[in-house]
A and B are shown apart, each in its own frame.
Chain A
Amino acid sequence: MKKVYVNEDWCLACHLCEYYCAAANSGAPNMIKAFKSGKKPVPRIQVEEGSEVNFAVQCRFCDGKACVKGCIAGALSITPEGVVVCDENKCVGCYTCVLSCPFGCIVIDEEGHRIQKCDLCTKNHDGDPACVQGCPNKAIVFEER
C-alpha cells in the first residue's frame, strides 16, 4: 500500500506540511480562507522538532491498528485499500483512539468534539496528499515500500 513517509534528513521543520494539510481538510477553497474564517483548522500531520533532527508525523497505517480495535463507536474503519478512515458522524469524541495510537497521530479537531486523522487526502484531493505536494524539500513522499 502506498503510504506517506518522511525522510528526516530533508525535513526542515518549516511546518508547511501542517498548513497544507489543515487547509486541504478544512473544506475551505483556499488557505487564506481556511485560516482567516473562525477557528484555525488543525492539521493531521505534525512536525516534531529536535535540535538537529526534525520529523513530520502522521498516521503510519501500522499493522496493529489499535485505534480501529479500540473505537467504541465504530467510527474508525479500514477501507478495502487499507486506509484507516474516520466517520465523523459516528465519532463520539471518547478519545480512546487518541490514547491508544502508539505514534500520537490522532488529533482532536478544532471544535474539540471529534477526532481527526490522516486519510491520505482520499476525501478531499486529487493526486498525492497535500503534505507531500506542499513539502518544499521532498522530505515527505508518498510511495509503496
Chain B
Amino acid sequence: MNPLFEVIRDPDRCIKCRVCERQCANEVHKYDPDLDKMISDPMTCVDCQRCVCLCPTHALKIRPNENQFRENANWSHQTMDEIYKQADSGGVLLSAMGNPKDYPVYWDKILLNASQVTNPPIDPLREPMETKTFLGKKSQKITYDENGKAHYEKTPYLELDVPIMFSAMSFGSISKNAHESLARAATELGTYYNTGEGGLHEDFYKYGKNTICQVASGRFGVFKGYLDAGAAIEIKMGQGAKPGIGGHLPGMKINDEISKTRMIPKGTDAISPAPHHDIYSIEDLRQLVFSLKEATNWEKPVIVKIAAVHNVAAIASGVARSGADIIAIDGFRGGTGAAPTRIRDNVGIPIELALASVDARLRDEGIRNDVSVVVGGSCRSAADVVKAIALGADAVYIATAALLALGCHLCRSCNTGKCNWGIATQRADLVKRLNPEIGYQRLVNLVTAWDHEIKEIMGGMGINSIEALRGNRLMLRGVGLTQKELDILGIQHAGE
C-alpha cells in the first residue's frame, strides 16, 4: 500500500515549533532531536488539513501522492487500492461523509431569474425581506361566527426565522462540543437542530425549544422526557448516505456520557437495525406517528425522514397520508459518520430530482398542504437553498456545510474516531479542540450570511417573502439538461 498523500514541508519556513506534531492525532509529524528536524510519515495522513491550518509559518502542504499505478481508464487507482484493502482485510469497505463520485449536481445546472424593467427588483437593505418559514400541516378550515370572528384549526408547527435547519447528527457520531455548538446556534438563529439517533445529553435540555428529537430504529435515548424535551419529533426511516442500511457506533466510542445519553451499557456497540422492527409497512408507520403524537399530547409536529430512492414520490405520498406533518428527504449526497462505501457511492438518487418529483406528486394528489417538505443531502450554499425552495421545498437541512463551519475539512475519516478538528470523535483531548463558543458563532455567521444572500437573490427576483418563492419554478431555468431531466425538474431550459 502506498500513502494516499504526500506531506510537503518547506524547510525554509519551518521553525520547528512542533504544532503539527502536537495536533496530529494520526501521528504523521515527528520532531527528530538528532537531526533537529521535523520529519513526516505520510502513511497515516488523512489530509484533514489541521497541521496546515495551524502552522504559524505556512510551511506545510498536503497533496495527493503523485505515485501512480499504470494508467487505466477502467481500473482507477482508487479501485485498485480498494481491491488491495479488501484482499488484506476480507471486510466491507467503510467511508464517511457524502457520496464523492462524479454524478451530476443538478443545483449547478439550474439558473435563477431576476427582475428587469417590467417588474422592479426590491432592495433588501431598504425594504422588508422576509424569510420566516412555518413547517407543519396547514389546515385551511376556517369558519366565521355571526360576529365575524374567525375560528380556525391550529395544528402543531415549527417556526423558523430562516428556512435552514441543522440536520440530524447524533451525539456519538459527533462530539458533545459539536452538539452544543449546533444547539446554541439554532437557538440564536431561531431555527432548529436535530439530535440524531443518539438521544439528548442532559446538559442540552435547555435548548429544547430549538431541538428536533429523533427516533430511529435503535431507539437510543428515547423515553418520555426526551420526546417532551424537543419542539418536534423526527422518525428516521432512512438516510441519504446509506438508504436501507442501519448504523453502528463502535463500543470504543461509548463512553460514560454517551452510555448515559443513549441508555446503553458503556463499551457496547450501538447498533441501529436497518428497518424499524415495528415498521414493516406504511400502516405501521402511521401507528408510530400516532403513538408519538399521543405520547406528546398532540402538541408537536412529527417529521418522517426518508432517503431519496427511486420511487420516492410514491413513498412520500404514503408518508403524507400517514399523519406526518413534515417529510424530510435526504439525497444521496448526504453525509454520514460511517457507511459501507459501496452503498454510499451507488444507492439513492439526487435530491434535486427527488424533491421535484415529490413536490409535483403531492400537488397532483392535492395533499401538498398536509405536509411540509424539508430537503437535505448537500445544500452547499444560499443559491442551493433558493433553488431548493423554488423547486418546492419548505426548508432545507444542512449538516455537511455546518460541519465545515465548525472546522471539518472533509477528509472523510469520521469512522476512525480520530477527528483532529474535535468534531467526529469522543477522545477528550480531541473533543476540546472544538470550543463551542467559537463553533456556535461560526454557525450563526454561516447561516446569517446565507440568509443575507437568500434575501439578495429574492430581492433581485422582485420577491420580498420566502413563501412567494416556494415552488415558484418559473424562477428557474436549466442549462445543459436533457428534456427528460427538465421535465422531472418541472423547469424550462434557459432561453425558453
The yes or no verdict on A and B being binding partners is yes
Name the segment of B15-23, B120-128, B326-334, B470-478 touching the other chain: B15-23
**Total cross-chain contacts (CB, 8 A):** 52
B180 to chain A: closest CB distance in Å?
12
A28 to chain B: closest CB distance in Å?
11
- Residues from 18 to 55 in B contacting A, C-beta threshold 8 Å: 18-19, 22-23, 53-54
Bound Cα distance from A19 to B14, whole angstroms? 12
- Residues from 455 to 493 in B contacting A, C-beta threshold 8 Å: none
Q: Answer whether A138 and B15 are a contact pair too, CB < 8 Å, given A12-B23, A13-B22, A19-B56.
A: no
Q: Could you mark each residue 8-25 of chain A with 1 if its beta carbon is under 8 Å from any beta carbon of chain B, else 0? A: 011011111001100100
Bound Cα distance from A136 to B433, whole angstroms? 9
The reply on A1 being an interface residue by CB < 8 A is: no
Who on chain B is nearest to A135 by CB? B435
* Cβ contact within 8 Å between B57 and A31: yes
* Cβ contact within 8 Å between B22 and A32: no
Bound Cα distance from A19 to B22, whole angstroms? 14
* Cβ contact within 8 Å between B15 and A35: yes
* Cβ contact within 8 Å between B23 and A31: no
* Highest count of chain B CB atoms <10 Å: which of A10, A52, A134: A10
Which residues of chain A are near B13, meaning CB under 8 Å?
A: 32
Bound Cα distance from A15 to B31, whole angstroms? 15
The reply on A123 being an interface residue by CB < 8 A is: no
Q: Answer whether A15 and B438 are a contact pair too, CB < 8 Å, given A31-B57, A134-B56, A137-B433.
A: no
* Cβ contact within 8 Å between B18 and A9: no
Which residues of chain B are near A83, meaning CB under 8 Å?
A: none
Bound Cα distance from A9 to B19, whole angstroms? 19
Which residues of chain B are near A32, meaning CB under 8 Å?
A: 12-13, 15, 57
* Cβ contact within 8 Å between B15 and A9: no
Q: How large is the interface on B (under 10, 10 to 19, 20 to 34, 35 or more residues)?
A: 20 to 34
Q: Answer whether A31 and B15 are a contact pair too, CB < 8 Å, given A13-B22, A19-B56, A138-B438.
A: yes
Who on chain A is nearest to B430 by CB? A12
The reply on A36 being an interface residue by CB < 8 A is: yes
* Cβ contact within 8 Å between B19 and A137: no
Q: How many residues of A contact B (CB 8 A)?
A: 20
Chain B at the A interface: SS class: loop
Q: Answer whether A137 and B22 are a contact pair too, CB < 8 Å, given A15-B17, A16-B56.
A: no
The reply on A139 being an interface residue by CB < 8 A is: yes
The reply on B284 being an interface residue by CB < 8 A is: no
Q: Answer whether A52 and B54 are a contact pair too, CB < 8 Å, given A12-B433, A31-B15, A32-B13.
A: no
Which residues of chain A are near B142, meaning CB under 8 Å?
A: none
The reply on B432 being an interface residue by CB < 8 A is: yes
* Highest count of chain A CB atoms <10 Å: which of B13, B18, B435: B435
* Cβ contact within 8 Å between B435 and A139: yes
The reply on B437 being an interface residue by CB < 8 A is: yes
* Cβ contact within 8 Å between B432 and A10: yes
Who on chain A is nearest to B54 by CB? A136
Which residues of chain B are near A23, meaning CB under 8 Å?
A: 56
B19: contacting residue among A16, A35, A138, CB under 8 A? A16
B83 to chain A: closest CB distance in Å?
39
A8 to chain B: closest CB distance in Å?
10
A137: contacting residue among B15, B16, B53, B435, CB under 8 A? B435
Bound Cα distance from A16 to B55, whole angstroms? 9
Which residues of chain A are near B12, meaning CB under 8 Å?
A: 32
Bound Cα distance from A136 to B420, whole angstroms? 13
The reply on B428 being an interface residue by CB < 8 A is: yes
Of the A-B pairs whose beta carbons lie under 8 Å apart in the complex, a sample of 30, sorted by A's number, is: A9-B432, A10-B432, A10-B435, A12-B429, A12-B432, A14-B22, A14-B23, A15-B17, A15-B19, A15-B22, A16-B19, A16-B56, A19-B15, A19-B17, A19-B19, A20-B56, A23-B56, A31-B56, A32-B15, A32-B57, A35-B15, A35-B16, A35-B17, A36-B15, A52-B428, A52-B429, A134-B56, A136-B53, A137-B432, A137-B433
Binding site for A on B (CB under 8 A): 12-13, 15-19, 22-23, 53-54, 56-57, 428-429, 432-433, 435, 437-438
